[in-house]
Amino acid sequence: MGRKKTSPISKPAGTLTVGIDLGDKYSYYSVLDQAGEIVEEGRIRTTPDAFRVHFGSCEAMRIAIETGTHSTWVNELLLSVGHEVFVANTRDIPSISESNSKSDPNDAEKLARLARLDPKLLHPIQHRSLEAQGDLTLLRARAKLVDVRTTFINTVRSTVKCLGHRLPKCDADSFHKQCKDGIPACVEQILTPLLNLIEQVSKQIFSYDKSVEDLCRTKYPQTATLRSVPGVGPITSLTFVLTIADKDRFTRSRDLGSYLGLRPKRAQSGERDPQLRITKAGDTYMRKILIQSAQYILGPFSPDSALRRWGLTLASRGGASAKRRAIVAVARKLAVLLHRIWVTGQRFRPFPELPVAADINA
């Protein structure tokens, strides 16, 4: 099998298929001709300039890249210079993710061969735009600060408890004020810097919250309708819109459950069909937000609705495990419901007519 390396690629349009294994510093590529023979392979730096020089001057090709840190901008760049690009979800490609001879050049060749045979074998994903990715970064930065603040608060509380004291119950936003006077004198000098950090983090979270509200109002007005659902605020609605990106990409709303990893795994064989955990595929942060909203819907402060009653019925079937399954089930139906509201433009109805309820809660 002949192999050669040239730079940049220059071949007739429609005759080549390329697989690229994206690395942090270098990316490996493999080029196949119409007969499936490798005509070129090598590596290039994982930078916009290197990719533009290498792939910008050649004719249109079919290119498969793997999803990862760099796949968003690489996808945008390759599309902008006229190539057909597929972003492969390698998690669903066992020949790559579970290979016993895994290497970057081998992965690049496998991506090229799968793309040449049938792009559907790549289980391709659709990236959101760079602008939407930037807006979603705001939400994820806020989430990271919330996690950091929680860690600080737990550290302060546990330290004080070890000394035989207890700090008063309060929300995280007011913790630095409400608990300052409860710090024992023996550790006051040590814990005061943590309280100051908690105060600063809370101020930044508040600033992020204002930015999220501004985005909802100015750039994503469709979030207003989604927020008619109890437990769905600006964070959940904006995250949902940015994660899905295009409401028309799903022909059936119920497909959202699988897309967001809220569908149970299945390993049916013959008469054996065991109950398994959810797949946890898709966007982890979106799934976490939906779970939090579902917990509110099933909590004591949520208004009555058909969705809440359905979830409480599931939770009442026994034990903590039933409650956990009910939360996941409500989160899955909430995703379906939010998509239907987005598509139809109708506000949430706690007790819709039966035909509509059957469609939304399917």
Backbone phi, then psi, for 273, in 5-degree steps?
Answer: -145, 75
pLDDT at residue number 276: 63
Mean pLDDT of 214-218: 96
Peptide bond before residue 355 is cis, with ω within 30 degrees of 0: no
Token couple for 49: 């300039």
Range of the domain at 259: 224-360
Lowest mean pLDDT among 34-43, 103-112, 198-207, 243-252: 243-252
pLDDT at residue number 158: 95
Residue 64 lies in a domain: yes
Residue 183 lies in a domain: yes
| Same structural domain, 144 and 213 | yes
* Number of domains into which the chain is organized: 3
Please state at what angle helix 319-344 crosses helix 234-244, rounded to 10 degrees: 70
pLDDT surpasses 70 at 228: yes
Residue 70 lies in a domain: yes
Q: How far apart (Å, rounded) are the C-alpha atoms in residues 133 and 330?
A: 27
Lowest mean pLDDT among 129-138, 229-238, 339-348: 129-138
216: Cα separation from own chain's centroid: 19
pLDDT surpasses 80 at 6: no
| Same structural domain, 236 and 278 | yes
| Same structural domain, 314 and 351 | yes
The residue assigned the tokens 């760099």 is: 70
- The C-alpha angle with vertex 348 and arms to 342 and 351, in degrees rounded to 5, equals 140
| Same structural domain, 204 and 230 | no
Residue 12 lies in a domain: no
| Same structural domain, 186 and 294 | no
Residue 334 lies in a domain: yes
pLDDT surpasses 70 at 4: no
| Same structural domain, 117 and 182 | no
> Residue 56: which residues within 8 A CB-CB, separation 6 or more?
8, 81
More confident call, 340 vs 263: 340
| Same structural domain, 232 and 334 | yes
- The C-alpha angle with vertex 103 and arms to 48 and 14, in degrees rounded to 5, equals 55
CATH of the domain at 49: 3.30.420.40
| Same structural domain, 138 and 203 | yes
pLDDT at residue number 41: 93
Pick from 99, 122, 145: which residue ends a domain?
122
The DSSP code sequence of 140-153 is HHHHHHHHHHHHHH
| Same structural domain, 114 and 199 | no
Pick from 219, 251, 266: which residue ends a domain?
219
Interval 10-46: pLDDT, tens:
444 468 999 999 999 999 999 999 999 999 999 999 9
End-to-end CA distance of the chain: 53
Strand partners, 66: 88
| Same structural domain, 98 and 208 | no
| Same structural domain, 22 and 88 | yes
Q: Mark out the alpha helices in 260-305 (DSSP H runs).
A: 284-297
Report percent pLDDT > 90 for the chain: 70
| Same structural domain, 269 and 352 | yes
Interval 104-148: pLDDT, tens:
999 999 999 999 999 999 988 888 788 888 899 999 999 999 999
pLDDT surpasses 70 at 270: no
Whether 30 and 109 have beta carbons less than 8 Å apart is answered as yes
Mean pLDDT of 50-73: 92
Strands 62-66 and 38-45: unpaired
Confidence of residue 267 (pLDDT cuts 50, 70, 90): low
Pick from 219, 244, 264: which residue ends a domain?
219
pLDDT at residue number 240: 96
Residue 246 lies in a domain: yes
Residue 6 lies in a domain: no
Residue 312 lies in a domain: yes
